[in-house]
Structure 1
Amino acid sequence: MSPVLTICRAAPLSTIQDAGRFGMLPHGISASGAMDAGAFRHAGALAGAHSNAAIEFTAAGLDIEVSKGRFVAAMAGGSFRAAHNGAPLAWPGRVELKAGDKLSITPGEWGNYGYLRFDRNFDLPVVMGSLSTSTRAMIGGLDGRALKAGDVLTLGVVGSSLKDSAIEPRRHDGPIRVIWGLHADMFDLPLRREFLTATFAIAPQMDRMGVRLTDPTGIFAKAKILSLVSDAVVPGDIQIMGDGTPVVLMRDHQPTGGYPRIATIASVDLDRFAQLRPGAPVAFQSINVDHAHQLLRSGAQ
């Protein structure tokens, strides 16, 4: 009997995500995938088997009820509170659920994204090699849209066993590390230095496509040539918009951009950046490409 669960409550922009849909940018479709890839992997390791995707829920949390069957669920990412039939659970952690059980996840002290993974695969169609939801392209996940109360999800076969460690990813506490971008030379040296010494903040305008930064001192207010011929962009690119607003592109970024990118967040810090809530201060530190590659290979965060 295939297990079935019902979404009783879903925070806005909660979706089905996996590791991502790669190689589709020539067709205008970004990779999508988990906003916090490390937390996604951690939840999979805790589940004990490699399910093909997760429910990625946002800061307000998630409530589910098991309609039938039995399965293991694991939770990680951000700081949330979880309860199984009203009894508190460890976060991050795992729990065995059966028909009639309820799992409730509510907000904690920090973080924008959490992940609920299972020891079974979702019974959902693979689109362009992935289950990840792209709400802009309206593909993947459940009908290419965000989850809502009343949605029913069926789980299929047990996923393959995981050998990965279930140790929680280590997070670097310092500035967000960046590599100078393709268009850094368009900004003069004093401005680039100011970019690295200033403190920005996460603006309320944020989603899976991008995160705006507030710039209290107006570093880029007088910058010129803020419109270019569009070219390819990647997650972590820091675009400076025509009005001087910095915007960090995220997993559902557009395929091309027509504003200069002063820098790109190193992959090793992109998960940490994604978890910063509105109002959180942001400072940047420049590193070179070799250092970024070394950090990524070593697994250091």
Structure 2
Amino acid sequence: MLRIVRASPLTTVQDAGRFGALAHGIAASGPMDRRGYEAAGLLAGAGAGGVEFTRAGIEIELVAGRCRVGFAGGDFTAAQGGARVGWPGLVELSAGDRFSVTPGAWGNYGYLRFGGDIDVPLVMGSMATNSRAGLGGLAGRALVAGDEIRIAGKGKPAVTVLPADAPEEGPIRVVWGLHADRFSPAVRERFVASAFRVSMRLDRMGVRLEDTEGVFAATRMLGLVSDAVVPGDIQILGDGAPIVLMRDHQPTGGYPRIGTVISADLDRLAQMRPGTAIAFQPVTVEHAQQLLRSQAG
């Protein structure tokens, strides 16, 4: 049994995601940084589920039993019983032990995975928390101090410690979107030649960007028929601001979508902190699929 001693805002229980529910208006959710989530699971030999926390970190206490805890995603500072341990990594807690995570050099999201399954009910086949819909996790909400989580069963054999996951560099790659041809060639050229900036307005639903060079300053395209959206879609809002839809995105959208961030780069974008400059590079669907296969391998 684990107790949450301290939790950053938007700390949630997640698993791989609630796929196949978008037809019912429910996004898949799941970890914002899938590679970080998977790395923490490998380190712990984890069972089902994990805890995603945000920049301010988290502190947990093991109330009873023994438990492996793997941690990864971004760069944070971790300590067991006040003694610092390397990030990413693995610790084993006994009853009464505390494990704490505080902010590090980069990244918005980190993950704790455990040597067993998180014991919460599955909703529509998943424990992933979608706080917008009030589904999954612990009563469909973010975790707060005082919450307790039971770890059931046994996990898998743990792997050796992973190397530090330094942030990748270079433009965020996109495929042109459904409404790209609604933008003039000049605007599309400026979109890929200009720098944007990650704003303070970001959460699991979307990351709003600052259009510092005014690429979309004169763009006004309202009244589109709403249709299905997916994670990574770049909507241009009515005021000309771009927003990248993330894991808890709404099911449909009525703003034009100039492009979609490819799956291989969506984790990297999720970890970009406010103020980070961002540029986009168009690629073909075939190249995007090849990058995703190579990443999975």
Q: What is the TM-score with the length of structure 1 in the denominator? A: 0.95
* 2:8 counterpart letter in structure 1: A
Matches for 1:15-26 after TM superposition, within 5 Å: 15-26=12-23
Secondary structure of 1:82 counterpart: strand
1:299, distance to aligned residue in structure 2 (A): 1.2
1:162, distance to aligned residue in structure 2 (A): 6.9
Q: 2 CA distance for matches of 1:170 and 1:296?
A: 19
Secondary structure of 1:203 counterpart: strand
Q: Percentage identity across aligned positions?
A: 57
1:159, distance to aligned residue in structure 2 (A): 2.7
1:218, distance to aligned residue in structure 2 (A): 1.5
Query: What does the per-residue CA deviation read over 1:225-247, in whole Å, with 9 as the maximum and x for residues that have no partner?
Result: 23310000000000000110000
Query: What does the per-residue CA deviation read over 1:43-82, in whole Å, with 9 as the maximum and x for residues that have no partner?
Result: 00111x2321110000000001111100100100011000
Q: 1 CA distance for matches of 2:249 and 2:79?
A: 34
User: What is residue 14 of structure 1 aligned with on the other side?
Assistant: 11
1:44 is aligned to 2:41? yes
1:141 is aligned to 2:137? yes
Q: 2 CA distance for matches of 1:23 and 1:164?
A: 34
* 2:280 counterpart letter in structure 1: F
Change (3 A) 1:162 1:288: farther
1:191 is aligned to 2:187? yes
1:295 is aligned to 2:274? no
Contact 2:43-2:159 within 8 A present in 1 as well: no
Contact 2:88-2:163 within 8 A present in 1 as well: no
1:163, distance to aligned residue in structure 2 (A): 8.0
User: What is residue 201 of structure 1 aligned with on the other side?
Assistant: 197
Change (3 A) 1:179 1:122: same
Runs of 4 or more off by more than 2 Å in structure 1?
A: 159-172, 224-227
1:300, distance to aligned residue in structure 2 (A): 7.5
Residue from 52, 75, 92 that aligns with 1:56: 52
Instruction: Count how many residue pairs are aligned between Structure 1 and Structure 2.
Output: 297
Contact 1:238-1:248 within 8 A present in 2 as well: yes
Contact 1:42-1:167 within 8 A present in 2 as well: no
User: What is residue 148 of structure 2 aligned with on the other side?
Assistant: 152
Q: 2 CA distance for matches of 1:170 and 1:237?
A: 25
CA RMSD of aligned residues (A): 1.7
Q: 1 CA distance for matches of 2:14 and 2:69?
A: 15
Contact 2:128-2:137 within 8 A present in 1 as well: yes
Matches for 1:163-202 after TM superposition, within 5 Å: 166=162, 172-202=168-198
1:71 is aligned to 2:67? yes
Residue from 118, 121, 128 that aligns with 2:117: 121
Secondary structure of 1:40 counterpart: helix
1:216, distance to aligned residue in structure 2 (A): 1.4
Contact 2:89-2:162 within 8 A present in 1 as well: no
Change (3 A) 1:300 1:22: closer
Q: Which runs of 5+ in 1 are unaligned?
A: none
Secondary structure of 1:108 counterpart: strand
Secondary structure of 1:191 counterpart: helix
Q: What is the TM-score with the length of structure 2 in the denominator? A: 0.96
